[in-house]
Amino acid sequence: MKLKLDENWTTKNNGYPLFDSEVERYISVVPNEHQLRLQEKPFYAFLHFGMNTANDREWGNATETVKDFDISKVKPAQWVKAVKAAGMTGIILTCKHHDGFCLWDTKMTDFKATNSLIGMDIVKAVADECYCNDIDFGVYLSPWDMHEKTYGTPAYNDYFVAQLTELCTNYGKLFEVWFDGAKGADAKAFTYDWQRYYDVIHKLQPDANIAVCGEDIRWVGNEAGKTRKSEYSVVPSSLRKCEAVEKNSQQGVDDAQRLQRIDTMDEDLGSRAILKTNEYLCWYPAQVDVSIRKGWFYHKKDDKTVKSVKKLLNIYINSVGNNCVLLLNIPPNKNGVIHSKDTTVLKKLGRKISEMTQNPVIESKPGELSKEQGYLEYLFDSPKKLKYFIASEDISQSQRVEKFDLYLLKPNGKYKKAYSGTIIGSRKIVKLKGKALGALFIIRQSRSNPVIKSIGFYE
Which residues of this protein are in contact with ligand FUL, per CB under 6 A?
Answer: 58, 180, 182, 249-250, 289, 296
Task: Report, in Å, the least distance between residue 297 CB and ligand FUL.
Answer: 8
Please count the residues of the chain: 459
* 212 vs 100: CA distance, rounded Å: 19
* 210 vs 128: CA distance, rounded Å: 21
**3 state SS of 267:** coil
Task: Report, in Å, the least distance between residue 55 CB and ligand FUL.
Answer: 13
* 426 vs 415: CA distance, rounded Å: 27
Check if the beta carbon of residue 145 is closer than 8 Å to that of residue 151: yes
Of 23 and 306, which has the nearer Cβ to ligand FUL?
306
Of 227 and 249, which has the nearer Cβ to ligand FUL?
249
By beta carbon distance, the residue nearest ligand FUL is: 182
Report residue 199 CA to chain centroid gap. Answer: 23
Of 147 and 384, which has the nearer Cβ to ligand FUL?
147
Task: Report, in Å, the least distance between residue 294 CB and ligand FUL.
Answer: 12
Kindly provide the b/e burial profile for residues 285-318, where b requires at least 16 CB atoms within 10 angstroms of the residue's own CB.
bbbbbbbbbbbbbbbeebeeebbebeebbebbbb
Of 130 and 211, which has the nearer Cβ to ligand FUL?
211
Of 249 and 319, which has the nearer Cβ to ligand FUL?
249
Task: Report, in Å, the least distance between residue 1 CB and ligand FUL.
Answer: 45
Say which DSSP state 255 is in: G
Task: Report, in Å, the least distance between residue 95 CB and ligand FUL.
Answer: 12
Query: How would you class 335 by CB atoms within 10 Å of its CB: exposed for 0-12, middle for 13-18, buried for 19 or more?
Result: middle
Task: Report, in Å, the least distance between residue 253 CB and ligand FUL.
Answer: 8
Of 249 and 446, which has the nearer Cβ to ligand FUL?
249
Of 58 and 402, which has the nearer Cβ to ligand FUL?
58
Task: Report, in Å, the least distance between residue 300 CB and ligand FUL.
Answer: 18
CA dihedral 62, 68, 69, 72 (to 10 degrees): 180
* 176 vs 45: CA distance, rounded Å: 12
